[in-house]
Amino acid sequence: MSLFRAVRTPLSTSSLLCQGLRSVTGFGAGDAADHKVVPVEEARRFAEECLKSVGAKETHASQMAELLVSADSRGHYSHGMNRLEMYVRDIQQGSTRVDAEPELERSTSSTALVNGNQCLGATVGQFSMDLAIQKAKESGVGWVAAHGSNHYGIAGWYALRACDQGLMGLSFTNTSPLQVPTRGRECVLGTNPIALAAPGNNGDSFVLDMATSTTAIGKVELCKRKDSKIPNGWGVAENGQETNDPNQVLGKGGLMPLGGTEVSGGYKGYGLAMMVEVFCGILSGSHYGTGIRKWIGQHDVPANLGQCFIAVDPNCFAPGFADRMQALMSYCRDMEPAEGAENVMVAGDPERHHLKEVERLGGVSYHDNLVSAMAKLSAELSVPAMQPKA
Amino acid sequence: MSLFRAVRTPLSTSSLLCQGLRSVTGFGAGDAADHKVVPVEEARRFAEECLKSVGAKETHASQMAELLVSADSRGHYSHGMNRLEMYVRDIQQGSTRVDAEPELERSTSSTALVNGNQCLGATVGQFSMDLAIQKAKESGVGWVAAHGSNHYGIAGWYALRACDQGLMGLSFTNTSPLQVPTRGRECVLGTNPIALAAPGNNGDSFVLDMATSTTAIGKVELCKRKDSKIPNGWGVAENGQETNDPNQVLGKGGLMPLGGTEVSGGYKGYGLAMMVEVFCGILSGSHYGTGIRKWIGQHDVPANLGQCFIAVDPNCFAPGFADRMQALMSYCRDMEPAEGAENVMVAGDPERHHLKEVERLGGVSYHDNLVSAMAKLSAELSVPAMQPKA
């Protein structure tokens, strides 16, 4: 979940700066020889069948599969097929329910409170965002909070759902504690993402989808695997102090808020993470802060996450929204880049490039490790394996 | 405008980390011997009379004066009396109008578009936020965008106005271009602040009020005056590359977005600054991006800023909002601090400490330089000078 998430196919054209970052992040990166291209429809079929095989209703499985494949197609590999097994385990161990539906608990002309009833996150999220969209069309704004939800994938997916209908869409979720408040030493908040999608002209759009921590835990894990240091501003050790050692972050430390240390503005990232928690857990009455289950090893405990979905109709404000949005995006993209840098991008551009690559390749390029892991899952669940392109 | 803005009286108890920062920022800091304490009422009287002396209506002058003194009382000295002369010049040179009122251009049950008619920012902001509050009370949410506005002081002031009535309040403004997009080399966006205030119990609250740039331009100016370097992540030179030289930032460079360089997440700060611009200039139809007048030397050009004000009624969601808000704040404040750090704070705590100091001192502690500058202004405008406590 990042604005400048590097385009992660071997054919990437991202900048030198981003390549430095990409070599650290690495999800889905690597040589074409290590990868298999899987047609989008086939990837979706596989995810849906896996979820159905453990009891998910067809509609729920389809919603989740759509979300996962969309994440992969946009280059957010960490939130795509890579997470399928987690959703399967949550169903198998009963923390995600397959016999329920999200329900509307209360509403006004522009607000709603949804009980997700521990359904799959994509199901709760789609139900809630569609409600927000409907209310925005009727009253100008729809502001929906959901409790009893589960991990809902990329936040941007829900924001885009509103954007596709000409609205501004926003989405937020709390997550398992991984982020340490400025001056603290304990993980209190999650990576708590913020997503905003706003329409420009001719299908163009501004799509921000970012964690409020400097980086994702997966990027720290990758540094550990490579036995390399992490950059400043990424994480703290058990004593709460900044460290460049990934082992200390992953042991008893945690992620730093966006901004890093206090002198470089880390207290702002901490404030933003808390803002997301206010919109999610505090508003919806779900679990929040350290009350949320740990990221690893608690599949039997209901997550009861809180999420927030907002839609706003720009037509209720000044005429010409999309034209101005487009002009600002064009200005940024066309400006002279910094010395040594490639073109300036706007949020959503890397994902757009990645979608084009998927189209060109005829499918999503998955690393062999992912393909093997899915083959194992398919055997376990007696679901026909995911078939790469010949 | 920061979460951990150091308490800037000589009696501050802020942390070692913050003291490092404070020695860089310095507004209002220094020895008590360099300061004069001015009673809040007297400071307000002086600001109001100065504005009236150049033609502002009594209500408008009073709104602006209230805002300035509130900023100083909360420790945001950069946005208080320090800015009075700027507002006076804007009126004298005609870019701020004193013969108009903000007007409602269009509205739905939960949205409104306001034409600020180039009135003082505090007047436009108060009009707009009160509209948002009214709509939130009626429909659950009020989302108001204003164009034709001026510099409106601290964003948090408007958010607090909603919070004081038991609502969540949010406020955003675009500002003169000072921030350089990631990979770019030109100032395209302002410091574009985000403010959220949410009520806890017994008058306690969460109050985030932060620029989306790593730091304020004033902090860079201070480093220049002290002939010291600036930390990493604060600014770029004319070529778009990071620099530690304040002269390069202030010359033809600019501020970096929150997060600093790309590897430490600066693209997220850039995305957030753009999000604020979407809510402000893009939604309201005001000037935006590089269309906004420069920060210095353009008092004769109407600012036509865009602003956004949101109020949300927590009572439309899960019962117990304030209790959960309070519990999360208490958890953070009570947690064991990092090695060598003072207590963990939540957004709004430094301002609360400063307000207590103001109460203890019987007024706001102003640096002698500020008091002298105000004496000069009082002579020019033939307004009785601001009288410090005996």
Position A295 scores a pLDDT of: 80
For residue A169, pLDDT beyond 70: yes
Domain that holds residue B160: 102-211+266-346
Whether residue B138 sits in one domain with residue B277: yes
For residue A20, pLDDT beyond 70: no
Domain assignment present for B140: yes
| Calpha distance A113→A133 (Å, rounded) | 14
Position A220 scores a pLDDT of: 93
Whether residue B157 sits in one domain with residue B276: yes
Q: CATH number, domain at A233?
A: 3.30.60.50
Domain assignment present for A31: yes
Splitting chain B (390 residues) into consecutive groups of 10 residues, what average pLDDT does each group show? 36 28 37 88 98 98 98 93 95 96 98 98 98 98 98 97 98 97 98 98 98 93 92 97 97 97 96 98 98 86 97 98 98 97 96 97 95 97 96
pTM: 0.94
| Calpha distance B262→B243 (Å, rounded) | 14
Beta strand residue intervals within chain A, DSSP E: 35-38, 103-107, 111-115, 141-149, 168-173, 194-199, 205-210, 235-236, 242-243, 254-255, 305-312, 364-367
Whether residue B113 sits in one domain with residue B236: no
Q: How far is B293 from chain A (nearest CA, A)?
A: 16
Domain assignment present for A17: yes
Residue B194 with chain A: CB contacts under 8 Å: 272, 275
pLDDT band at A21 (very low <50, low <70, confident <90, very high): very low
DSSP string, A342-384: -----TTHHHHHHHHHHHHHTSEEEEHHHHHHHHHHHHHHT-P
* Interface contact flag, B335 A283, Cβ < 8 Å: no
* Interface contact flag, B145 A318, Cβ < 8 Å: yes
Interface probe, candidates A5, A24, A110, chain B, greatest B C-beta count within 10 A = A110
* Interface contact flag, B3 A271, Cβ < 8 Å: yes
DSSP state of B83: G
Domain assignment present for A231: yes
Position A384 scores a pLDDT of: 98
CA end-to-end span of chain A: 31
Domain assignment present for A292: yes
Domain endpoint, select from B227, B255, B283:
B255
Q: How far is A177 from chain B (nearest CA, A)?
A: 13
Position B325 scores a pLDDT of: 98
The three-class DSSP label of residue B37 is strand
pLDDT band at A89 (very low <50, low <70, confident <90, very high): very high
Interface of A with B in 116-155 (CB under 8 A): 139-141, 143, 145, 147
Q: CATH number, domain at B42?
A: 1.10.1530.10
Number of compact structural domains in chain A: 3
Whether residue B176 sits in one domain with residue B298: yes
Q: CATH number, domain at A300?
A: 3.30.1370.60
Whether residue A251 sits in one domain with residue A117: no
Position A237 scores a pLDDT of: 98
The three-class DSSP label of residue A141 is strand
Q: What's chain B's length in residues?
A: 390
For residue A29, pLDDT beyond 60: no
Domain assignment present for B261: no
Whether residue A325 sits in one domain with residue A189: yes
| Calpha distance B254→A328 (Å, rounded) | 18
Domain assignment present for B235: yes
Whether residue B274 sits in one domain with residue B183: yes
| Calpha distance A176→A192 (Å, rounded) | 9
Whether residue B38 sits in one domain with residue B110: no
Domain endpoint, select from A223, A255, A287:
A255
DSSP state of B281: I
pLDDT in tens, A322-360: 999 999 999 999 999 999 999 999 999 999 999 999 999
Position A296 scores a pLDDT of: 79
Interchain contact A322–B (C-beta under 8 A):
no
Position B22 scores a pLDDT of: 34
pLDDT band at A298 (very low <50, low <70, confident <90, very high): confident
Whether residue A250 sits in one domain with residue A275: no
Position B208 scores a pLDDT of: 98
For residue A142, pLDDT beyond 70: yes
Mean pLDDT of chain A: 92
Q: How far is B228 from chain A (nearest CA, A)?
A: 15
- Looking at chain A, the whole-number percentage of residues with pLDDT higher than 70 is 92
Domain assignment present for B22: yes
ipTM over 0.90: yes
| Calpha distance B246→B263 (Å, rounded) | 22
Whether residue B308 sits in one domain with residue B185: yes
Whether residue B366 sits in one domain with residue B330: no
Interchain contact A291–B (C-beta under 8 A):
no
Whether residue B341 sits in one domain with residue B359: no
For residue A265, pLDDT beyond 80: yes
Interface probe, candidates A207, A220, A324, chain B, greatest B C-beta count within 10 A = A324
